[in-house]
Amino acid sequence: MNPAKIPDEILQNLLSLQADSLVLPAAYDEHDILRYANKSFRSAYHLEPDEQLSWGAIMRRNYEAGLGTVLTTDNFDDWLVSTQSRRGKVAFRAFETDLVDGRWLWMTETVQPNGWMLCIASDITQLRPDDRRLRQDRDLALRASQTDELTGVANRRFIMARLEALVSRHLTPDGVSGCVAVLDIDHFKAINDRYGHQSGDEVLLDFARHAHSFVRRLDCFGRIGGEEFMFILPDTTLGDGVQFLERVLDRIRSARPLRACPEFSYTCSAGITALRPGDTPHEAFARADRGLYQAKLEGRNRVSVT
């Protein structure tokens, strides 16, 4: 049956059934704002009936109150960046999560091409403790394999897989289906030499936090090695991609990451390319990398298009 032709009575019955269900469904928009959740979901995450908060705000409020999901971290902001670097970046994801009230949930995330996400959680508390520990260990191992250890953003393996997924998508007739950008912190070796490697790590962390704050639902951002990072920007024109990077560069110029040296500032350079029909992941990455090299030759602290 065509969903557009489902009678109103049936739709109302369906809505009523799931509203009181013990299953926990929720829908987030492309900006990760909660747009719908049934009573069970709102109860689990301590939300008022009409609240429409961002996922990050929900998690932060619950963490500070000792409610909702169990988060074994001493630094919520680090945990948030690490989790958001993977959240919503693939079409489907399934994992387990435990709640402070003792329940254990099986959660699925399904992402639509427009960025909306459907989350459905089921209570699996009755699984044997040994089974739960095995599943949790598996999830932790998977998370570690996809995350850069220092910055907490996606690692090279994860972001290269997202690049491969993007170039494999059907390209529009004019060949525009997204952009790839490679960024590099300017004079990073000199920063390490002058201020020490610990300060260099602080700069890397600062850059990752600022750059990650610009990531949208379908975008992906990660560290590909050393002081080099990558943005994958699906459904983005080259012009919009350049504007996006200019905003990132502006933010970095104003950053002051070293407490021991408040006047310290730094910059970054970027190369960007639009995907072309028939591109391979290697070809798209190589063009963006050539753009980065060109930006360096032209004086750094700028965006170059290839």
Locus of tokens 């939300």: 47
Instruction: Encode the chain in three state secondary structure.
Output: CCHHHCCHHHHHHHHHHHHCCCCEEEEECCCCEEEEECHHHHHHCCCCCCCCCEHHHHHHHHHHHCCCECCCCCCHHHHHHHHHCCCCCCCEEEEEEEECCCCEEEEEEEECCCCCEEEEEEECCCCCHHHHHHHHHHHHHHHHHHECCCCCCECHHHHHHHHHHHHHCCCCCCCCCEEEEEEEECCHHHHHHHHCHHHHHHHHHHHHHHHHCCCCCCCEEEEEECCEEEEEEECCCHHHHHHHHHHHHHHHHCCCCCCCCCCCCCCEEEEEEECCCCCCHHHHHHHHHHHHHHHHHCCCCCEEEC
pLDDT of residue 261: 93
Q: Where are the domains of the chain?
A: 3-146, 156-305
Q: In this predicted structure, what is the pLDDT of residue 125? A: 85
pLDDT computed for residue 72 by the predictor: 87
CA 78/CA 255 separation, integer angstroms? 18
Q: Which of 227, 228, 246, 298 is flagged as catalytic?
A: 227
| pLDDT average per 10 residues of sequence, the chain (306 residues) | 53 54 88 94 94 97 96 92 90 90 92 92 78 65 79 93 83 67 97 95 96 92 96 94 98 95 96 92 96 97 97
The highest-level CATH class for domain 3-146 is alpha beta
User: Is 263 one of the annotated active-site residues of the chain?
Assistant: no
Predicted TM-score (pTM) of the model is 0.76
- The fold of 156-305 is Alpha-Beta Plaits (3.30.70)
